[in-house]
Amino acid sequence: MNGMTKIVKTIAGISFPFIVIYGLYVIAHGHLTPGGGFQGGAVVASGLALILVAYGSKWAATKIKEHDLSLLESVGAIGFITVAFFGILFGGVFFSNFIVGTDLLFGGIPLAGAADINTGGTLPLMNFAVGLKVIAGLFGIVFIMALAISKKEESA
Amino acid sequence: MLTKRDYAAVAFLTIITVFLMFSMLLIHPFGSPNASAMDQYIIDNTVEETGANNGVTSVVFDYRGFDTLGEATVLFTAVAGVIMIFRRLKK
Amino acid sequence: MIANIPYLAVVGLIIIGLSAVIFKKNLIKIIIGITIIQSGVNLFLITLGYREGSTAPIWTSSPGGVMAFPVPQALTLTSIVIGVAVTALMLSLVIHLYRHHGTLDVRKMGGDDQ
Identify the CA nearest to A38 among candidates B51, B80, C85: C85
Determine, yes or no, domain membership for A1. Answer: no
B-chain residues within 8 Å CB-CB of C15? 13, 16-17, 20
In chain B, the residue whose alpha carbon lies closest to the alpha carbon of A141 is: B79
Check residue A8 and give its pLDDT: 93
Q: Is C84 helix (H, G, I), strand (E, B) or coil?
A: helix
Give percent of chain C above pLDDT 70. 95
Yes or no, beta carbons of C18 and B53 under 8 Å apart: no
> pLDDT per residue over A56-106, tens digit each?
888 888 888 888 998 999 999 999 999 999 989 888 888 888 888 787 888
Residue C103 neighbours by CB distance under 10 Å: 13
Yes or no, beta carbons of C95 and A38 under 8 Å apart: no
CB A106 within 8 A of CB A12: no
Identify the CA nearest to B80 among candidates C85, C82, C25, A21: C85
> Which of these ranges, A108-122, B69-83, C74-88, has the smallest mean pLDDT?
A108-122
CB A45 within 8 A of CB A149: no
Domain count, chain A: 1
> pLDDT per residue over C32-57, tens digit each?
999 999 999 999 999 988 888 888 88
Which among C18, C78, C84 has CB closest to B13? C18
Determine, yes or no, domain membership for A53. Answer: yes
Identify the CA nearest to A1 among candidates A48, A74, A59, A47: A59
Q: What is the pLDDT along chain B (91 residues), one digit of tens a residue?
A: 778 888 999 999 999 999 999 988 888 888 888 878 888 899 888 888 888 888 899 999 888 889 999 999 999 999 999 988 887 665 5
Q: Is B67 on the interface with A (CB under 8 A)?
A: no
Determine, yes or no, domain membership for A70. Answer: yes
Domains of chain C by start residue, with CATH: 2-101 (1.10.287)
Domain hosting A65: range is 6-155
Higher pLDDT, C65 or C110: C65
Chain A to chain C Cβ contacts (< 8 Å): 29
Burial class of residue A152, CB neighbours in 10 A (0-12, 13-18, 19+): middle
Yes or no, beta carbons of B12 and C3 under 8 Å apart: no
Determine, yes or no, domain membership for A42. Answer: yes
Determine, yes or no, domain membership for A90. Answer: yes
How far does B66 lie from chain A, in Å, by closest CA?
8
Alpha-helical regions (H) of chain C: 8-23, 27-48, 70-101
In chain B, the residue whose alpha carbon lies closest to the alpha carbon of C40 is: B20
> Which of these ranges, A139-153, C18-32, C38-52, has the smallest mean pLDDT?
A139-153
Check residue C114 and give its pLDDT: 45
> pLDDT per residue over A123-135, tens digit each?
999 999 999 999 9
Q: Is B59 on the interface with A (CB under 8 A)?
A: no
